[in-house]
Amino acid sequence: MAKKDIICIVSSRYKAVFLKINSSTTILDLKFDVAERLDLPYESLILAYEDETVGSLKFSIENDGDLTSMVEHCHNLGLKEVHMQAFKEGDDSSNKQENEQVRQDIASSSLNSKNIDCGPSALWTTSFPDKNPNDNPSEDDVMTIDGMINRSERHGNNAGQSRASRRFIATQLQPTLKVRPDIRPIDVQKEFLSSYGIRVDYSKIWWGKERAQEKLYGDAHESYDQLRWYVEEVKKTNPGSYIHVEQNEGRFTRLFICYAACINGFLYGCRPLLFLDGTFLKDRFKGILLSAVAYDGNQGIFPLAYCICDQENNVNWKWFLQGLWSILYERPDPYNPPHKLVIISDADKGIREAVREFFPDSIHSRCVLHLVENFRTKLKDLGFKSKDTQILGNLLQSACYKYTRAEWNDYMDDIRLVDERAYNIVMNYAPENWANAFFPGVRYGHVTSNVAESFNKWIHEARLLRILQLVEHIRKQIMVRMNERRTMAESWNQFLCPKAELALKENMENGRPLEVRQSHTGLFEVQSHRSCQVDLDNKTCTCRGWDVTRVPCKHACASIMFMKRDVYQFCDWFMTVEAFKKS
């Protein structure tokens, strides 16, 4: 327990909870915690401090000043424990003053122009309209704010009226946003209607939420202005990081961030494989976050770099990929990967053109899930039945994972048997861009951009914040993740990372009973359900399992064990624990 903390016992009838408070605790935080844990309505909650040192007097704790005075009073008396009581409005006749104050808050008019923010000016290169924003509400289940609004009061008299002020809405939303930063104005609007029986304009709730966020996270405009300071601080405290803010006549346009630990980790410990994707931001000015994510040796997410811009288009993707090229190749020790850099993404919205311009020697691969989705959409447009669309999509997705062209052709024949038009659509997709059997590079078995989408979910909370808080939130996430990876690696005593170790041992077990014949120094013929040729010198097998995953397949394992050599020495560097520790 911190030196200045005080144990606070809050009771309500037959229930009580322990809380820790200090001079920095706010009345909103305290009331929210009490309301949530004692199942009391936040809006009608009243707190009283019981001071036994002066004859068991009760002091009403109504604001931050009261709470701070109580804490200082306890410190002066050397008390480490205080007792408070929680009441619901109306349970105690002595609380009339509090009741009246709440009613005045409800009745305060939202038409008072002195309390109204006039709206943001555009900070992006594209302009934003003055109309109320649309947050595109989804059908996701959203936690209600019962703890914020008293469901039992004011339901009948105010129906159809809009009398709750923006200040009042902001006050109620502030503690809620701490635990539910993603709550939508549309949900708050519904709660006011069901709880208060009043209809509040969407715009008023939106601005109320903006005020609450401003109290919590600061002014949105100021957050952009502070980016210049943030860039200098990162360069000063984290040498080797690449961070750049681009402006147009003093207005923010784009931000690129890649920390030194991410650059070095990718160059020296990750596969030469990148996943690109974009996701929407949900702060006041919206925007897009473009990301480049990799896999570490244990198949974990490894964030490399990201960019914040106004929209996902060809210009912004080129700017982002130019930054990626700089951190990978404009270095004193240029990165020369053992295989060509492979970039996996959805090929839409300008990514393909940007990759061709800045990474001409790389190999671009389409995300199979996006390709299958596009395929099914085209089938529906042609009038295919839903059942046939599903079957054909599954066949296409399965074909992508097959290692050999013979297996791939089997699935293509099945698609052609269903409908020739579907087959023609597939062939127009250029299989060398997505099918394992034809892909010219090494994707280590990855054919989707799921890792990039996992990254988007990982930063979900950050996407709701002001831009300065957003970048700091992501920095802290990366820092914590790096430390967790370091701690995890210290406990590993094997040569390979656990997931690579598991795959290799499974292939070794499956390869033990296979019949092996040596045809040359490093060439072998291995008999399983079909005959396969293994080339240990070039680390290939005609089953193409070794070629695609870079883990020795069962045929290769059988050949290596036949020669009584160390199987682990035939695994790629990126799968080793040593490489993981460098990433």
Q: Which of 347, 382, 386, 378 is nearest to 364 (CA)?
A: 347
- Strand-pairing partners, residue 87, are 46
Please check whether residue 536 lies inside any domain of the structure. Answer: yes
- 334, 435 in Cβ contact below 8 A? no
Helix axes 467-490 and 227-237, enclosed angle (nearest 10):
20
542 and 470 inside one domain: no
Nearest C-alpha neighbor of 17 from the set 43, 47, 59, 44? 47
Residue 119 pLDDT greater than 50, yes or no: no
3-state helix, strand, coil in the chain (%, to 5): 45, 15, 35
Last residue of a domain, one of 196, 217, 238: 217
Q: Is 140 a residue whose pLDDT tops 80? A: no
Q: What is the pLDDT of residue 336?
A: 58
Cβ–Cβ under 8 Å, residues 225 and 219: no
- State whether 232 and 353 are in the same domain: yes
Q: For residue 274, what are the β-bridge partners?
A: 343
133 within domain boundaries? no
In a domain, 503, yes or no: yes
Same domain (yes/no): 241, 350: yes
CA distance 246 to 60: 53
In terms of domains, do 340 and 209 share one?
no
How many residues in the chain?
Answer: 583
In a domain, 263, yes or no: yes
Nearest to 173 by CA among 153, 163, 187, 154: 187
Tell me the mean pLDDT in the region 120-131. 33
> How does pLDDT run across 397-432, given as a tens digit for each residue?
999 999 999 999 999 999 999 999 999 999 998 898
408 and 503, same domain (yes or no): no
Reported in sequence order, the residue ranges of 393-467 that DSSP labels E, i.e. its strands, are none
Is it the case that residue 139 has pLDDT exceeding 70? no
Q: What is the dihedral of CA 319, 322, 327, 329, to 10 degrees?
A: 180
Decide if 124 is inside a domain.
Answer: no
Residues 337, 414: one domain? no
Question: Best-predicted range by mean pLDDT among 13-27, 447-461, 546-560?
Answer: 546-560
**185 and 257 in a common domain:** no
Q: What is the mean pLDDT of residues 274-283?
A: 88
Q: What is the domain extent for residue 84? A: 6-100
Tell me what pLDDT residue 163 has. Answer: 56
Pairing type for strands 363-366 and 342-345 reads parallel
105 falls within a domain:
no
The DSSP code for 249 is: T
Q: Domain with 86 in it: what CATH number?
A: 3.10.20.90
Whether residues 248 and 339 fall in one domain: yes
Same-domain status, 384 and 361:
no
**Picking from 64-78, 205-219, 456-470, which range would have the lowest pLDDT averaged per residue?**
205-219
pLDDT tens for each residue of 225-243: 888 889 999 999 999 999 9
Which tops the pLDDT comparison, 142 or 309? 309
Q: Is 211 within a domain?
A: yes
Q: Which among 135, 145, 139, 23 has a CA at the least distance from the CA of 74?
A: 23
**Comparing 330 with 85, which gets the higher pLDDT?**
85
Q: Is the pLDDT of residue 155 over 50?
A: no
Strands (E), 419-536: 515-518, 523-527, 531-535
Please, what is the Cα angle at 444 between 516 and 347, to 5 degrees? 140
Mean pLDDT of 171-176: 79
Q: For residue 410, give Cα distances in angstroms to 10, 135, 228, 249.
A: 70, 46, 58, 59
Residue 244 burial (10 A CB sphere; 0-12, 13-18, 19+): middle
Q: Where are the alpha helices (DSSP H) in 278-358?
A: 314-329, 351-358
Strands 242-248 and 288-295: unpaired
* Whether pLDDT at 377 is above 70: yes
Torsional sign, CA 196, 199, 200, 203 = positive
Domains: count for the chain: 5
395 and 374, same domain (yes or no): yes
- Residue 233 counted as domain residue: yes
Q: Which strands sit side by side in the sheet containing 81-88, from one edge to the other?
A: 15-21, 6-12, 81-88, 45-51, 57-61
Residue-wise pLDDT tens digits, 491-549: 999 999 999 999 999 999 999 999 999 988 899 999 988 899 999 999 999 999 999 99
Mean pLDDT of 7-33: 83
Q: Which residue has the higher pLDDT, 62 or 455?
A: 455
**Residue 316 CA from chain centroid, whole number:** 21
Which of the four pLDDT bands, split at 50, 70 and 90, describes residue 192?
Answer: confident
Same domain, 455 and 571: no
Same domain flag for 290 and 332: yes
Q: Is the per-residue pLDDT at 14 higher than 70?
A: yes
Tell me phi and psi for residue 363, to 5 degrees: -120, 125
